[in-house]
Amino acid sequence: MSARPEQRKDPVDAIVEQWAVVRPDLDTAAMEVFGRIFRLSRAMGDSMEKAYAPHGISRGEFDVLATLRRAGEPYTLSPRELSATLMLTTGGMTGRLDKLERAGLLRRSPDPHDRRGLQVTLTEKGLALIDEAVGAGLAAQQKALSAALDGEQVGQLADLLRELLNGTAAAARE
């Protein structure tokens, strides 16, 4: 599955070529796919950090605010719901919530339905910030996509990645 002649080579091609020399018996097709996914993830993670920095938040803090925003009005979830959605420990979540609360982007209050529980709610300031930050992040992602792919290719890639994600999740459950 190496690069076609009209394609530019990338660092993954170099790794695959090295393996072909020392271990020609290996099928490196999966390495070509996942190596590129890992490298894309790292590069886009860095790009997203840069997109969110002018808004004074990190990717992790963006994730908390975006999760509350996606919950819809009144933009409220329990810390446990946030932790589960973001796959964070309660300790990791507490640190993020503390910082975002100090910045006035969210507030914690007692849960009226559970005397022992808390609710986390976006403030108006937090709502305005996340709406700006999500636009900045999407612009960075769109810029990266449009630099390499046309609209049809983006759709095809999204479909293929969905299939891959569903397939790997199913395999992990077995």
pLDDT along the chain (174 residues), means of 10: 68 95 96 95 95 95 96 94 88 91 96 87 98 97 95 96 91 82
What is the reported pLDDT for 2? 55
User: What pLDDT does residue 108 have?
Assistant: 95
Tell me the sheet residues that pair with 76. Answer: 121
Structural domain tally of the chain?
1
> What was the pLDDT predicted at 1?
54
pLDDT at position 121 is: 97
Cα torsion for 101, 105, 111, 116, to the nearest 10°? -20
pLDDT at 13: 94
Alpha-carbon distance 140 to 59, whole Å? 13
Q: What is the CATH number of the domain that holds 117?
A: 1.10.10.10
Which pLDDT does position 114 carry in this prediction? 83
The per-residue pLDDT for 8 is: 84
Greatest Cα-to-Cα distance within the chain, rounded to the nearest angstrom: 65
Which residues form the domain of 107? Answer: 55-136
Whole-prediction pTM: 0.84
Q: Give domain status of residue 110, yes or no.
A: yes
